[in-house]
Homo-oligomer: A and B are copies of this chain.
Amino acid sequence: MSKINVAILGATGMIGQRFVQMLEDHPYFEIEGLYASERSNGKRLSEVLKVRDHVYLDETLDREIETMDISKISKNCRIAFSGIPSDLAGPTETELAQAGVGVFTNAGSHRMDADVPILIPEVNPAHLDSVKDQKTFANGGFIVTNANCSSTGIAAPLAAMNDAFGLKQVFISTYQALSGAGYPGVPSLDAVGNVVPFIKGEEEKMESELAKMLGTYDNGAFNFAGFKVMANCARVPVIDGHLESLVIDMEAQPTLEELERCLVEYRGEPQKYNLPSAPEQPIIVRHEDNRPQPVFDAMAGKPARAKGMAVTVGRLRQSNGYYKMFAMSHNTLRGGAGGSVLNAELAKAKGLI
């Protein structure tokens, strides 16, 4: 089977380099080109390294970066993975879809569009149908987004609990990694030995995106889920991996054993189709008293290709009728590039590309 040519947009950024990592030597996809702004034109990826554990990268480090050129991309690529900044992403991704390219994007620009899914394959695979309602679909072009990184990290556990026990309210505080702000992003003088209790737009995104993702797509429209989300978001001096504390109010009152079983047994279409980047077990529950931690759990996930694609939950507790836990996931893999790669794998499995 010949591989599908893909372009990586914004290849020099924190998300773009993760796309390269996830797509190097991928069974379905072949990297046709790395694209970024003119500033990086002609440079090699090894010269603009920003992702620390580029130890994963090898062959692609010597690849040259090109300036984005929509006509070239649409001519050569069936798919574009987009890690470009939101202000630029909106029009660029629309143009690509119009040119017949399937766009899988990490940018927020189109997430709340009426016919664009925020897709997490385990959670809401049926939302993928919405792309068929996009005007460009007739020509093969469409846009699929992944959620913002802090929403993605808890989407699967919340979906599992919602299905089994019915969510009423979720109280979230985040401990978000620096890579989520991109590069140069947070100045070191704000980060070293400090916490910044503000991430522009993040709390609002968590409230709207989770409701869209955990809702349904029926008759050409998204119906948002009805539970309440109250989020407090903060940036901590961690490189990769968003930790989130959760207090959850549910309809049912399962035991902690029942709750844990519901989480660890959660599976979805990526596992059914055995997609290349799908973690065998999407939600891992740890029993140590001090986990999950960014440095040990951000890269959770098996097999090798799915490292950084599982969510780790720990410290399950019950208090005053509420359930408490900490969850963590890799913000630029599962919550970024990896999410979009898994979305494209699902789209391929479903015959959309």
Mask of A277-304 contacts with B, CB within 8 angstroms, 1/0: 0000000000011111111100100100
| Residues of chain B contacted by A353 (CB below 8 angstroms) | none
Contact pick for A185, options B187, B194, B322, CB 8 Å: B187
Is the pair B232, A324 in contact by a Cβ cutoff of 8 Å?
yes
Is the pair B192, A191 in contact by a Cβ cutoff of 8 Å?
yes
| Residues of chain B contacted by A184 (CB below 8 angstroms) | 184, 187, 189
Q: At the interface, yes or no: A265 with Cβ under 8 Å from chain B? A: no
Contact pick for A195, options B14, B47, B289, B293, CB 8 Å: B293
A187 to B302, CA, bound (A): 29
Q: A193-B193, A197-B292, A197-B314 are in contact. Are A307 and B234 (CB under 8 A)?
A: no
Q: At the interface, yes or no: A236 with Cβ under 8 Å from chain B? A: yes
Q: At the interface, yes or no: A71 with Cβ under 8 Å from chain B? A: no
Q: At the interface, yes or no: A145 with Cβ under 8 Å from chain B? A: no
Mask of A90-116 contacts with B, CB within 8 angstroms, 1/0: 000000000000000000000000000
A133 to chain B, nearest CB (A): 31
Q: A188-B188, A188-B191 are in contact. Are A296 and B49 (CB under 8 A)?
A: yes
The 8 closest A-B pairs by CB, nearest first: A173-B173, A188-B191, A184-B187, A232-B245, A198-B290, A55-B299, A197-B326, A52-B295
